[in-house]
Structure 1
């Protein structure tokens, strides 16, 4: 496999080799079939939610508009890494260009940041609906909903501009083999031929901020929601309130559970196999289970 002959005339790496899942060819074919099936089901499930919201006039409410945007985000998110991963599984070269690697990192983690923002906004919507039902129609207007959607999309992509700019300035002189199926931050910076401790720290702080700020906000809103729901007498709307929040809480637990195992566990980056497995889990599980949970 090529690892050192992919340099341009200035001596910089012009492409990277994504090892993916090095194993027997039969196992790779099996992985290709499984991941392809999960990818197709993910696209179909999230597309069905978008179509249902689009086609039904009674679903043109902030709650379902946010859900439709979240489903579209999941489609974009899973499409930022899975097609390339599938191509590399059956490919002999497993290469990706330098620019392609940077853009995959940027889009994958930008949409991950946007997902955290969407979960926060959706929890705000549930908070208003349950804790201030009389004021909900006047506060959560379609105008505000549209601005919140723009905020989530723009916020996710703007948040990752600084890490992208910093990584684009890191010199890569070889080797160029990444023991991963995507261009993740840690294995990418490990290939640098210069000290990147400062860049790693800054990128880590930026990533941690978006994770923990959105998590603490979601946690705070649901503490308020649960305190209100528990005061409701049994049989007089408590079950409806719980069922309204249950789907969103399930997606929240999947998202933050997997992300925090990956990025908040001490020493998680010291085990490439574990890192790869957990990344695969959170790259596929939330987009796949999202339509199943919301349709349950």
Structure 2
């Protein structure tokens, strides 16, 4: 399916190179041009923290046998998605803060960025829902949990999120770049996303906006509703736990997930339910779920999780011991 998509996009871009725009100009975020050096260093720092933190969690989950459970299996997928999602948007944003050429993106590059972003973002959206279901089974049905959430089911659930994300992104990218773009070519955003790109189309975009509303806005809102319902049952089950220690432990494993869900879901639901409201000002809420949330996830999941903190200490201590053993004697 991906091969057919790439072939179709190649044919389409060849057509546009002859009759339409060959590149777009990303206008970036508001108020960043006046202090470009400051924002360049800020976003570069955020990106470094994001990649380092998420890769560290991914390595910890993969190598520590104490974390080979469904919750941390999904957390590993989330860390990988966060690192990739930040990579899709932040490097191009920082390049645009340094030079005007950094703001220019080819037609093909815009299509690839839009496809990659929606593939990763939608996969992460569905993954959050799966993680909420995992917490529901673990807390509300603890005796049934080891059988219900076995390793094979975890792999199938995680794989299904990637598959659905692929289909979702192919549909929207194909519909978006099937339109004719004959100018202007200035995108009032900091990356190629559906609402600002549709504004540049020379054809009627009502069908595209309807698909965006149905497939992104309603689906995201639906996933959020499922998560809220899961946590209603979770809170009710936690309040029935007799010991304060048991309640605290149950809440600690859920509050981290619920925090990042709210940071991730609310901005895109607001953006895609009103596709016509896109513009430079709309980039501010998009920064939260594309740049800020991927950076915060490692801190939220480690600072509020004792098992993760112990696993990180074991990993760092083992790394320091190995480096000491490899160093030559004085």
TM-score under structure 2 normalisation? 0.83
2:217 corresponds to 1:184: no
**Equivalent residue, structure 2, for 1:3:** none
Match of 2:294 among 284, 287, 292: 287
2:141 corresponds to 1:125: no
Q: Distance in 1 between matches of 2:237 and 2:245?
A: 13
Q: Distance in 1 between matches of 2:143 and 2:230?
A: 18
Q: Deviations over 1:205-262 (max 9, x none)?
A: 1111320221111111111111111122242611111111111111111112222333
Q: Distance in 2 between matches of 1:41 and 1:131?
A: 35
Contact 1:131 1:228 in 2 (8 A): yes
2:227 corresponds to 1:225: no
**Equivalent residue, structure 1, for 2:166:** 157
2:248 corresponds to 1:274: no
Instruction: Tell me the CA shift for residue 168 of structure 1.
Output: 1.8
Match of 2:157 among 148, 152, 160: 148
Q: Distance in 1 between matches of 2:302 and 2:136?
A: 21
Q: Distance in 2 between matches of 1:9 and 1:117?
A: 36
Instruction: Tell me the CA shift for residue 95 of structure 1.
Output: 0.9
2:65 corresponds to 1:66: no
Q: CA 1:87/1:295 → structure 2, altered by over 3 Å: closer, same or farther?
A: same
**Equivalent residue, structure 1, for 2:218:** 209
2:56 corresponds to 1:37: no
Q: CA 1:97/1:72 → structure 2, altered by over 3 Å: closer, same or farther?
A: same
Contact 2:195 2:272 in 1 (8 A): no
Q: Distance in 2 between matches of 1:149 and 1:8?
A: 37
SS at match of 1:16: strand
2:80 corresponds to 1:75: no
**Equivalent residue, structure 2, for 1:54:** 62
- Structure 1: segments with no counterpart, 5+ residues: 1-6
**Equivalent residue, structure 1, for 2:20:** 12
- Structure 2: segments with no counterpart, 5+ residues: 1-14, 304-330
**Equivalent residue, structure 1, for 2:328:** none
Between the two proteins, the alignment pairs up a number of residues equal to 288
